[in-house]
Structure 1
Amino acid sequence: MSRTVLVLNGPNLNMLGTREPATYGRETLADVSALCARTAEQHELTVEFRQSNHEGEAIDWIHQARGRCAAIVINPGAWTHTSIAIRDALTASELPVIEVHISNVHARETFRHHSYVSGVAVAVMCGFGTNGYRLALEHVSHLLNNKG
């Protein structure tokens, strides 16, 4: 059984550490990647860590995960609130999906309160900072270890 997890980051997450540090913190996407790699190693997982500002590219990666990966951890960024296409791709992947948001989107602007992704996710990590990625990968390990 595959223990590979696609960790997918949406638009503007390449700007972590410099974009709105009061909201998103000073950790960079490279720091998040390193956190995911450490967590994956502790739980005998393999991580494919990716980021794109291009919706079609992200959808292609989600499609490629089907049948190859064990789960998808996704921080869809603004696509959370706008992309039915990302939601449909996640559904088509037939994989467990865990949605991650660094900030508490429910304490922010009203338009951020709706997520197209949450309805297809097995869990949502919201407001834990970058620690949400660690929690998401730990939950994937829990799901895989307790499957069946």
Structure 2
Amino acid sequence: MKKLIIINGPNLNLLGKREPEIYGSLTFEDYFKEIKGKYPEVSLEYYQSNVEGELINKLHEVGFSYDGVVLNAGAYTHTSIGIGDAIKGIETPVVEVHISNTFGREEFRHQSYISPNAKGVILGFGLQSYELAIGSFM
């Protein structure tokens, strides 16, 4: 059984409440229940933090024993050299995910410190971006 973890960064705990025109009206906890049901053959975990160091610690914790990480680092994508370095330093492949098409938004969102070290990048497909990332590990 594959062991995967979804790691969400800052403000993604507000899904379902925050800017529903961009992010939709479903909470991530409800969505996570749905995708767990769609992938019963996968051991799937979820972690969320608004704190950069906690995200780095989680990547270090799972980065040598899991089969894959689905990472939506939120705004840290565009600012955190530390998260990019953490991904570079672990063995577990990471797929970078974004709910919105970051290239269709503000210019500062066009830069990612994660992409150069990620297995791949999926963006702009709403919450389905997570499922596409999970599928890449199958």
Fold conserved between structures, TM > 0.5? yes
TM-score w.r.t. the length of structure 1 is 0.89
Aligned to 2:84: 87
> Runs ≥4 in structure 1, deviation > 3 angstroms?
none
Q: Is this contact kept in 1: 2:65–2:92, CA < 8 A?
A: no
> Distance in 1 between the 2:88 and 2:14 partners?
28
The corresponding residue for 2:56 is 59
The percent of aligned pairs where both chains have the same amino acid is 45
CA separation in 1, counterparts of 2:75 and 2:89? 21
CA shift at 1:66, angstroms? 2.2
Structure 1: runs of 5+ lacking an equivalent: 142-148
Match of 1:99 among 87, 96, 101: 96
Separation in 2 of the partners of 1:40 and 1:58? 24
- For residue 97 of structure 2, what is the amino acid of its counterpart? V
CA 1:121–1:35: 2 relative to 1, 3 Å: farther
Gaps of 5+ in 2: none
How far, CA to CA, are the matches of 1:36 and 1:124 in structure 2?
A: 19
Match of residue 38 from structure 1: 37
1:12 aligned partner: 11
Q: What SS does the aligned partner of 1:140 have?
A: coil
Q: Which amino acid aligns with 2:70?
A: V
> 1:14·1:51 contact (CA, 8 Å) conserved in 2?
yes
Name 1:117's counterpart in structure 2.
114
Is contact 1:39–1:134 with CA below 8 Å preserved after alignment? Answer: no
TM superposition shift of 1:84: 0.6
SS at match of 1:119: helix
What amino acid is the match of 2:96? E
**Distance of 1:29 and 1:102 partners within structure 2:** 11
Q: What CA RMSD, in Å, does the superposition of the two structures yield over aligned residues?
A: 1.2
Show the counterpart of 1:135: 132
Q: CA deviation at 1:31?
A: 2.3
Shift, 1:45, TM fit: 1.4
